[in-house]
Amino acid sequence: MEVYLDNSATTRCYDEVAELVYKVMCKDYGNPSSLHHKGVEAEQYLRYARQTLAGLMKVNEKEILFTSGGTESDNIALIGAAMAHYRRGRHLITTRMEHPAVLQTMAYLEKQGFEVTYLPVDRLGRISLEDLERAIRQDTILVSIMHVNNEIGSVQPIAEAGELVKRCNAQTLFHVDAVQGFGKFRIYPSRMNIDLMSVSAHKIHGPKGVGFLYIRDGARVNPILYGGGQQKGMRSGTENVPGIAGLAKAAEMVYAGLDRDVDRMYELRRMLIEGVSRIEDVRVNGCPDREGAPHIVSLSVRGVRSEVLLHALEDKEIYVSAGSACSSNKPQISDTLKAIGVERDLLSSTIRFSISVFTTEEEIRYTIQALEEMIPMLRKYSRH
């Protein structure tokens, strides 16, 4: 039985989405900027996609900027905001457990002379609003907070943070990296004081290489790509029409069953956590209950290296992710795991399971059973 539990890495595309993408690539393949009928037809897909996404989030169509995915959206949000507002201030705030697309971009901005405050997180991976309040200054131009953490599934109090940011400094922009949260939670940017929000299609059963950035009307952000002036000059380059059509279709489908599917995922997650908790010396990172995201389970298995456990599971056709990529010659310890204070010898023993709507109870049972058999065996052989 093939069990795919790496849905935070990427998801299987919905068949309907793949069919639509194929149709746009091979039949309605026009360039939306072309003046003729083929171009108009392609433009319709963009218009429809904008309408769909705007409708799901209850925002205005013109507030959607299509991008190549999460990383590009984060880059436009951070660099674009920094470039547009550096005269007003050079201070940015983020957390210690962001995705590298945010952390590395912040590091780049630091080299350009910006100052960045990194908020600490507690053992469950949540920031404190008091810390945030203390960090916001007169010259703070942007606060960037991840909605759902990709490694341990902790959920940040986005709405409260948004309100706080605006109360402390009305001019500060609030960016949310919602790559893991979109499609699991209903997010209404305008009601949550969100100015910028990054979303990726392939985490919600859409195609890879496409996503969007929500930019609140009136929020000033500079483009980072220049060229033919597509999307009102905010992001030059011919629009990825098949990808965008697929993105909207996937979002539509995910929202259609959202509450029911999320309940089911929480149930599967609870099953998995309960099952593995019976194994000796296995620790669940993050919030095990409904405080956490419905699809992510992070486990630290004492005495077993994550890579080995991953490949052993792979042998049983169970696909998961190493919480922290690590090898003997080049340890790459995850910032997130360090930030929540995972013990040193557990850092390289952490793996992540991530569920999707396609996951079944049977698959979870099979996985628990595999772990029960495998972990004692792997513990027997270790480096001394």
Q: Which residues sit at the interface with another protein, rule CB under 8 A? A: 307-312, 314-315, 327-330, 381-384
Q: In the bound complex, what is the minimum distance in angstroms from residue 249's beta carbon to another protein?
A: 33
Query: Residue 141, SS3?
Result: strand
Comparing CB distances to another protein, the nearer of 113 and 329 is 329
Q: In the bound complex, what is the minimum distance in angstroms from residue 324's beta carbon to another protein?
A: 14
Q: In the bound complex, what is the minimum distance in angstroms from residue 69's beta carbon to another protein?
A: 23
Distance CA 246, CA 18 (A): 7
Comparing CB distances to another protein, the nearer of 61 and 372 is 372
Comparing CB distances to another protein, the nearer of 268 and 322 is 322
Selection from 152, 150, 141 nearest residue 177 by Cα: 150
Comparing CB distances to another protein, the nearer of 10 and 222 is 10
Contacts of 314 (CB under 8 A, 6+ apart): none
Give phi and psi for 262, each to the nearest 5: -65, -40
Looking at residue 13, what DSSP letter applies? P
Q: In the bound complex, what is the minimum distance in angstroms from residue 368's beta carbon to another protein?
A: 18
Distance CA 178, CA 193 (A): 14
Kind and range of the H or E run holding 64:
strand 64-67
Based on the residue annotation, tell me whether 326 is a catalytic residue of this protein: yes
Q: In the bound complex, what is the minimum distance in angstroms from residue 348's beta carbon to another protein?
A: 12
- 216 CB-side CA count, 13 A: 18
For 17, the token pair is 């989405």
What burial letters (b/e) apply to 182-221, b meaning 16+ CB within 10 Å? Answer: bbbbebebeebbbbbbbbbbbbbbbbbbbbbbbbbeebeb
Q: In the bound complex, what is the minimum distance in angstroms from residue 112's beta carbon to another protein?
A: 30
Contacts of 13 (CB under 8 A, 6+ apart): 21, 202, 205, 206, 207, 246, 250
Distance CA 137, CA 169 (A): 7
Which residues form the catalytic set?
326
